[in-house]
Structure 1
Amino acid sequence: MPGTPAPAPGAARDEAGTPTLRRMLHSPGYVRLLVLSALLGVPIALAAFFFVSLQHTLQHWVWHTLPEDFGHDRAPWWWPLPALLLAGLILAPVITRLPGAGGHLPVLGLGGGPLGPKALPGVVLAALATLPLGVVLGPEAPLMAVGSGLALLALRSAKRAAEPTGAMILATAGSTTAISTILGGPVVAALLIIESAGLTGPPLVTLLLPCLIASGIGALVFTGFGHWTGLSIGALRLPEVPPDVDPDAGDFLWGIPLAVLVAVMVTAGRRFGHLTAAWTGRQTAVRTVVCALAVGVCITAYALLTGRSPEEAALSGQATIAALAAHPQAWSVAALVALVACKGLAWGISLGSLRGGPIFPSILLGGAAGVACSGLPGFGVTPAFAVGAATATAAITGLPVSSAVLTTLLMGTDAHNQMPLIVVGVVVAVIVRELAARPEPATGTATTP
């Protein structure tokens, strides 16, 4: 998330020097921030809508329409090789020559400080030109960069005073609005703010209120516009989850070791991403293309090993997550193991070299690992999927509450039953993540072609 802001401009303080909520709400500067945040929620939500709709349209064209035009029922096994090679060739000059380097490295999380308006063209080009081609990353990080960039651009266009604290709050509100459109609404986005900012008391409220009002209005506009146009809005959701009884002792006995396994797997992928980032720090252009092609090889390997569509191992995994949750019996254990191995390796490479978000593929990896283990005696499919998805999300983000709420919302009507295992999973993930932490290699983004 964008950096941690100081108290709002013009906010009165108490005797200890901390602004109180009542005094902040009487501050003209803070009231202007709330109004601006509400106003920005509409255009940023519309921008996010067209962004994800165009991405999904391009993705469908690359992986469905174009193969059919060439006489294939589905994308053939070799399809990822030219697609990912093209993605690398497009991305390399964006990283090395455009402002902002196409966005943050996904292995560093959802992003550091907000990207300014000058970085927007590179971020949009990197996302729209490479994510539909099969890069194993999600749209969440580019969306956040677009949201913060548009918010700062609006400030500049309005010729407002460049007050750093107010600009940072509005940039955070913009990125929160954008990310809330695909994470199920403003609640998860607000929790991401709370956990990633690490604030308490009035400073937290100072940041949280503008983000909530902007993301709430933005999510309403985003959803309504999607219904009106009939276009795909790309939100992360599971239309169908296998019904299951309350988790019993067997689910907990198997769920805890599964959580450890998934957390170790995701942590290893993250570590591999750091190694990849260090490797691409030199001769960045050439090595970016090599990494993109390596991702294509991993996806092709999945198609050859399983005889299934390479699309399942490519992309962010949103469609595959929904299909796996609705019809887990359609995958054999061997196919799920191949999916975790091939997509996991492709994801680790993508984390350190390409551009996108780290969360969506991790959810699929955790869910697939859970379903693969659900054949164990006394282990239900739904609890296994839930604990796997929750653990993977917490392991890659390091945000246990946000991960638990996101997974709970994904589980729909069965959320109440699975909540205990979800909580256990995120706790295990955070413990494993911290125990496995060690000094990471430098990941500075070089610009030498």
Structure 2
Amino acid sequence: MAETVPGAASDATPLHDILRSRGYVKLLLFSALLGVPIALACFLFVSLQHWLQHGVWESLPRAVGYDEPPWWWALPALLLAGLLLAPIVTRAPGGGGHVPVKGLAGPPSGPAALPGVLLAALSTLPLGVVLGPEAPLMALGSGLALLTIRSAKRRAHPRAALVLGTAGSTTAISTILGGPLVAAVMMVEAAGLAGTQLVVLLLPCLLASGVGGLVFTGFGEWTGFTIGALQLPVVPPNVSPDAGDFLWGIPLAVVIAVVVTAAHRVGYLTAEWTGRRTALRTVVCAVAVGVLITAYALITGRSPAEAALSGQATLGALAADPQAWSVAALVVLVLCKGLAWGISLGALRGGPIFPSVLLGAAMGVACSGLPGLGTAPALALGMATATAVVTRLPVTSAVLVALLMGGDAANQMPLIAVCAVVGFVTAQLLDRGAAAGRGTGGA
């Protein structure tokens, strides 16, 4: 792998010379081989997380005599999550993973941080933390990939190690985001590369995630375990967007972007607050999340599980039967889960994407009663806008939501693309305004 590695090449290097080099061929073969064990490890991780989550929020309530979790269920669950997480973020190497409010960017996680990341995820996400599994999965993929290279080689060939770590994390994230396509687009858009460098980096990631996705899906079908991927089993009836959907959709995308950005900024405030006396304040934040989930259950009379966790199950239920939620219930869900998500982003550990998709969907469906706005377009534009705001990757967001919409994707794609761009631009403008305000205040 030392002869020619991604990152060492420049656009002036002929692409065919790189692709034919001995080092790069080794890198491609190694990436393909890595896809198999990483996919199996990811399968075990998400299956175990789903099994623990099912036990906490379904089996245990029934065992103590409840058909569904009672309104107070989140309070002890989130207290326990905070108590378990506090020593991990203060003592474990890597602090249990990066703070979610910073997004999924940054260098691949190394093997040393992997035990803390997995322990933090498996001990808190099933208890109701309002975050998804995508960040721990990416850390698992990159950590396992880098574990295959001796530390001396990683230091000697940092660019090759970076590519393998990226391929590992791309493989991992592809298992829950609809396959290699979304993961590859995410990697391309986030990397910000072009020309030869992009092609050289993209091929190992595509190869590893493609092999890994095949293994992951096949193993899931063979075992019958639920693997927890982000998906919509049922979507509202197919309706092509018309002028009314666009007339409502663009201003609605701006509103959704403002709300999601506001919730995201709660994460920055929380992260700053927990920077001191971290252990105690981590527990306090976890309890605050539990209080917000409880408030949702008390106000709406619905299950607290809808406001807890990553939102994957609630998203599927909302898409399958939007009429089961009143507008008031959806508004309370956005307020309570949005604040809980913001606190979780700054203090707890997990991924930021899954809950944001639900928040956008809930806001879209809540507005679907407006004259001329259909339910399916409202659902699609809400998810696309919120995802673009959080990831700051509008193309990735559009592709992800198109895959979620399934057979209705072709109809909704124009609206999805427009609203993803509107959400992204709005979030950028809000960030610029906030930065200008802080600069003025500091002056």
Indicate whether 1:330 and 2:324 are aligned: yes
Partners of 2:355 and 2:249 lie apart in 1 by 21
Indicate whether 1:272 and 2:266 are aligned: yes
Residue 179 of structure 2 corresponds to 185
**What is the TM-score of this pair, normalised by structure 2?**
0.95
1:174-209 per-residue CA deviation (whole Å, 9 max, x = no partner) reads: 000000000000000001111110000000011100
Residue 446 of structure 1 corresponds to none
1:172-251 paired onto structure 2 within 5 Å:
172-251=166-245
CA 1:307 to 1:204, structure 2 compared with 1: closer, same or farther past 3 Å?
A: same
Residue 376 of structure 2 corresponds to 382
Residue 441 of structure 2 corresponds to none
2:254 is aligned, of 242, 251, 260, to 260
1:11-160 paired onto structure 2 within 5 Å:
18-156=12-150
1:289-308 paired onto structure 2 within 5 Å:
289-308=283-302
Shift of 1:321: 0.6
- Unaligned residue ranges in structure 2 (runs of 5+): 439-443
Residue 447 of structure 1 corresponds to none
Shift of 1:160: 7.6
Partners of 1:294 and 1:11 lie apart in 2 by 44
Shift of 1:25: 1.0
**What is the TM-score of this pair, normalised by structure 1?**
0.94
CA 1:255 to 1:285, structure 2 compared with 1: closer, same or farther past 3 Å?
A: same
CA 1:28 to 1:345, structure 2 compared with 1: closer, same or farther past 3 Å?
A: same
CA 1:155 to 1:339, structure 2 compared with 1: closer, same or farther past 3 Å?
A: same
What is the letter of the counterpart of residue 412 of structure 1?
G
What is the letter of the counterpart of residue 248 of structure 1?
D
Q: Is the 8 A contact 2:6 2:160 kept in 1?
A: no
Partners of 2:7 and 2:400 lie apart in 1 by 33
Shift of 1:20: 2.1
2:409 is aligned, of 415, 418, 422, to 415
Shift of 1:10: 8.6
Shift of 1:8: 4.7
1:371-405 per-residue CA deviation (whole Å, 9 max, x = no partner) reads: 00001111100000000000000000100100000
Shift of 1:242: 1.0
Partners of 1:10 and 1:214 lie apart in 2 by 15
2:5 is aligned, of 3, 6, 9, to 9
Q: Is the 8 A contact 2:3 2:21 kept in 1?
A: no
CA 1:440 to 1:55, structure 2 compared with 1: closer, same or farther past 3 Å?
A: farther
CA 1:159 to 1:194, structure 2 compared with 1: closer, same or farther past 3 Å?
A: closer
Partners of 1:298 and 1:12 lie apart in 2 by 49
1:2-38 per-residue CA deviation (whole Å, 9 max, x = no partner) reads: xxxx99539996xx87322201111111111101100
Q: Is the 8 A contact 2:105 2:190 kept in 1?
A: no
**Higher relative helix content:** 2
CA RMSD of aligned residues (A): 2.0
Partners of 1:148 and 1:415 lie apart in 2 by 31
Partners of 2:152 and 2:224 lie apart in 1 by 33
Residue 355 of structure 2 corresponds to 361
Partners of 1:440 and 1:352 lie apart in 2 by 22
Partners of 1:166 and 1:326 lie apart in 2 by 45
Q: What is the percent sequence identity of the aligned residues?
A: 71
CA 1:149 to 1:331, structure 2 compared with 1: closer, same or farther past 3 Å?
A: same
Deviates more, 1:19-28 or 1:195-204: 19-28
What is the letter of the counterpart of residue 362 of structure 1?
S
CA 1:289 to 1:11, structure 2 compared with 1: closer, same or farther past 3 Å?
A: closer
What is the letter of the counterpart of residue 133 of structure 2?
P
Alignment partner of 1:316: what SS?
coil
Shift of 1:155: 1.3
Indicate whether 1:432 and 2:421 are aligned: no
Partners of 1:11 and 1:102 lie apart in 2 by 29
What is the letter of the counterpart of residue 310 of structure 1?
P
Residue 343 of structure 1 corresponds to 337
Alignment partner of 2:95: what SS?
helix
